[in-house]
Amino acid sequence: MTLSNQNHLFSIPDEVTYLNIASLSPSFKAVEQAGLDAVLQKSKPYTIPVSDFFDPVTELKGLFSKLIDNDEPERIASIPSVSYGIATVTNNIKLNPNDEILVIEEQFPSNIYAWKKLANKYDAKLVTIASPNLKVNNAKQWNLDILDAITSKTAVVALGNIHWSNGTVFNLKAIREKTNTHNALLIIDGSQTIGAVHFSIKEIEPDALICAGYKWLFGPYGCGYAYYGSYFDHGESIEDNWANRMHSEKLSDLTNYEEQYKPFANRYAVGESGDFIYVKMQIEALKQIIKWTPESIQAYCRSISFEATQQLITLGCQIEHPDYRTHHLFGVKLPENIDVKTLKTALQQQQIFVSFRGKFIRISCHLFNTEKDFIKLVDCIKSVIK
């Protein structure tokens, strides 16, 4: 499916060039309206049936499952953040001394701190696979280095399927194959890809997929999703809430305390996961993303950004080869002859919104952007080159 620009579904002013969805997505109008309707309904709680504690969550898990090619919606848990989902994972892993947990250089902190704590707990080692920092074929070599680092000592590989600051793609199929060889777990942070890049649980078979919901999934800040594979079927949750137990739909019988959890990942859902406002917003968002399809979103982002990336390279910027990075999110390493402070001022004056991450400008676009947005960005960068 070939998509056209969808700016009419958003409320972004013409003078604003928003290339920062990797930080926080704008709501499209249907999500905004779903939130407003839900807020108004909360003013009349007598209109909210008991089924609203459960049925919308079931629908939401079904939609997210469809998006990630998962046939078992009960393996999905509603979570408030990536750190919550990762904490659930580390709470259910036991290591041996000198076991290794592999992570990526400059990985997002929510997918680092918990692993450091786990390594310290069991006297294991956190091994960071650094970027080779090559001008050519950096992503290719980085992937080879990751595969070489997976050995019999490896207990866990925890990474995003791209690097969150520059869009470098990691070869999850090859990584999964190598982890299977060594009986290591594969834990994926999909926050910067799910919704904008094709992903299949059936193809990758991760042990867990954790995903923030307020970026490429267009949900409100404070929502997320977690897929837990069979390794976690009988684990311990980090909290105990009433809705995760069997027969919790019978509110009149809640004091008949139930020891048994609902099957699979239900035990890991955050308390009050049936949030009457957030869930309805999330449902509208996922419906639209499924209609667009991640593959078509990725193709659209490539079509509006490709020419600009070639111009930026001509100006002396470094950008990963398009075969080894994503197009909805990518990093631009600036040339030495640019004063970053001056560039930040120019971007602010022209209402161009990007992120600065380490040595990179992180550019992230979507269907509300056009090729003109990238022309504006390139012209701004040109204006501050010495």
Has residue 347 got a pLDDT over 80? yes
In this predicted structure, what is the pLDDT of residue 307?
96
In this predicted structure, what is the pLDDT of residue 356?
92
Three-state DSSP class for residue 171: coil
CB-based burial, 5-20: b 16+ in 10 Å, e otherwise? ebeeebeeeeeebbbb
Contacts of 252 (CB under 8 A, 6+ apart): none
In this predicted structure, what is the pLDDT of residue 251?
85
Q: How far apart are CA 244 and CA 262, in angstroms?
A: 6
Task: Give the tens place of pLDDT for each residue, 51-73.
Answer: 898 999 999 999 999 999 999 99
Task: Give the tens place of pLDDT for each residue, 17-26.
Answer: 999 999 999 9
Degrees to nearest 5, angle at CA 126 with 122 and 131: 170
| Region 159-164 average pLDDT | 96
Between 6 and 51, the more confident residue is 6
Mean pLDDT of the chain: 95
Contact by Cβ (8 Å): 161, 136: no
So where are the chain's domains?
A: 7-27+294-383, 42-291
Query: Which one of 3.20.20.140, 3.40.50.720, 3.90.1150.10, 3.90.105.10 gives the CATH number of domain 7-27+294-383?
Result: 3.90.1150.10
Top-level class of domain 42-291: alpha beta
| Region 22-32 average pLDDT | 96
| Residue located via tokens 């704590």 | 117
| Region 343-355 average pLDDT | 97
Has residue 1 got a pLDDT over 90? no
Q: How far apart are CA 156 and CA 204, in angstroms?
A: 15
In this predicted structure, what is the pLDDT of residue 358?
67
Has residue 31 got a pLDDT over 90? yes
Closest CA to 268 of 209, 211, 226, 220: 226
| Region 122-132 average pLDDT | 97
> 127-131, 194-198, 339-343: which range is least confident on average?
339-343
Structural element, H or E, at residue 142: helix 138-149
Quote the percentage of the chain above a pLDDT of 90: 88
| Region 332-337 average pLDDT | 90
| Region 314-335 average pLDDT | 95
Highest mean pLDDT among 41-50, 98-107, 352-361: 98-107
Closest CA to 267 of 238, 248, 241, 244: 244
pTM: 0.96
